[in-house]
Amino acid sequence: MNLMRLQEELVSIGEPAFRAKQIQGWVYQKLTGSFDEMSDLPLSLRTGLKNKFRLCTLSPCVESGSHGDTVKTLFKLEDRKTIEAALMHYPLAAGRVRNTVCVSTQVGCPVGCPFCATGQQGFERNLTCGEIIDQVLYFARYLKDCGSGKITNIVFMGMGEPLANYESLLQAIATLNSADMFGLSARNMVVSTSGLIPQINRLSREKLQVGLSISLHAADDVLRNRLVPVNKKYPLKELMAACRSYFDATGRRITFEYALFSGVNDSQAHACSLAHLLHGFNCHVNLIPSNNTSNSAYRAPAADVVQSFKQELEKLGINATIRHSRGQDINAGCGQLRSRFMVDKK
């Protein structure tokens, strides 16, 4: 609930509106998980809150850790559906400690990319704003409890297509950004999309200053139609125009995610095509050796192939880095832990 809604609810049960800010402080700044801990509220109010509201919509059912730098959690929702979220710890990133939470926005995904474990699970429903925020609060409490600092970054790159759940996403960003609530700068949040052009254009008008990341994976329509099926509706020429408009409106450099698949999109010719597509664009390319899934047609290239692809891009003037996969030993790729859980339940 935003502040106004919470104030209205409190007034409706005979409580003063100012209590709303106290409650929000407990939830978002003190990171309490229980109404009983809200010691500056009257006992009668705490009891009333417990009877009428809930602080958590998620319950962890599987949790895996990888070398102290990644924690992946599978959550069960109140309707017993499951989603994933991950905490990635970077001890010294650009001179500072960084704790990044990767959150889901949907149960499953409607885009259906053939190389993605989530895409192979199909789509079930959108998450509520509360379910999105709860993933962040869970890991904020986790860091607090183990004395490992605070969340510094949020990426909406987990299960689902974030811009297909636009209203809940926008409300979650506003709540997490608000100085009276979680208080994280919008510049420390990144929204990923497979390329929903109307929503990209709408997001550019919000003036939120969130980063935008495009799951590109191919530089021509024929190949991208295969890898990212939404490209059939929103082809590359239109997508690139929307990206330029987003940059013009926000001044935020766009990141293009390019997952590399052996023998599919990893040749020098593919690198040249990508450089041509992005020529003159203020952007950054994240090269991602693929996480292997049950679809054997999409496997990671050899390390030297990945390096050669990066070098070709840089030679042609495109800024690129290789995002080394974290947590492969714990099924940290999108949808992998959930896929394993679903198989184990059978």
Cα-to-chain-centroid distance, residue 228:
18
Task: Tell me if 45 sits within 8 A of 13, measured CB to CB.
Answer: no
Q: Name the DSSP class of 56.
A: -
The pLDDT value given to residue 14 = 92
Which candidate, 280, 227, 263, places its Cα nearest to that of 114? Answer: 227
Q: Predicted confidence band at 320 (pLDDT cuts at 50, 70, 90)? A: very high
Q: Is the pLDDT of residue 342 over 60?
A: no
User: Mean pLDDT throughout 145-161?
Assistant: 94
The pLDDT > 90 percentage for the chain reads: 80
Q: How confident is the model at residue 279 (pLDDT cuts 50, 70, 90)?
A: very high
pTM score of the predicted model: 0.91
φ/ψ of residue 236, rounded to 5: -60, -40
CATH topology identical between 1-55 and 56-345: no
Active site residues: 84, 334
What per-residue confidence (pLDDT) applies to 233? Answer: 98
In this structure, what token pair is assigned to residue 323? 């995002």
Dihedral angle over CA of 158, 265, 330, 338, nearest 10: 50
Looking at residue 148, its pLDDT comes to: 81
For position 328, what pLDDT does the model report? Answer: 54
Write down the CATH number for the domain with range 1-55: 1.10.150.530
Mean pLDDT of 183-206: 97
Q: Which of 335, 332, 326 minimizes the C-alpha distance to 106?
A: 335
Domain residue limits, the chain? 1-55, 56-345
**For residue 55, pLDDT beyond 80:** yes
Cβ atoms of residues 313 and 274 within 8 Å: yes
CA distance 297 to 295: 6
DSSP string, 1-33: --HHHHHHHHHHTT--TTHHHHHHIIIIIS--S
Give the span between the Cα atoms of 340 and 336, in whole angstroms.
Answer: 6
Strands 211-215 and 254-260: parallel
Distance CA 45, CA 53 (A): 11
> How would residue 297 be classed by pLDDT, with cut points 50, 70 and 90?
confident
DSSP, collapsed to helix, strand or coil, labels residue 256 as: strand
Judged against a pLDDT cut of 60, whether residue 255 lies above it is answered with yes
The pLDDT of residue 335: 52
pLDDT at res. 42: 95
Q: What is the pLDDT of residue 345?
A: 57
pLDDT classification of 343: cutoffs 50, 70, 90? very low
Distance in angstroms (rounded) separating the CA atoms of residues 191 and 219: 21
**pLDDT score for 332:** 45
Candidates 2.40.110.10, 3.10.110.10, 3.60.20.10, 3.20.20.70; correct CATH number of 56-345?
3.20.20.70
Hey, how many other C-beta atoms are within 10 angstroms of the C-beta on 293?
21
Tell me what percent of the residues of the chain surpass a pLDDT of 70: 91
pLDDT for 259 beyond 60: yes
pLDDT (tens digit per residue) in 60-93: 999 887 666 899 999 999 999 999 999 998 876 5
How confident is the model at residue 179, as a pLDDT? 93
Distances (CA, A) of 32 to 39, 137, 141, 239: 11, 9, 8, 42
Q: What value does the mean pLDDT of the chain take?
A: 91
Encode pLDDT of 4-40 as tens digits. Answer: 999 999 999 899 999 999 999 999 999 999 999 999 9
Check whether 299 has a pLDDT greater than 90.
yes
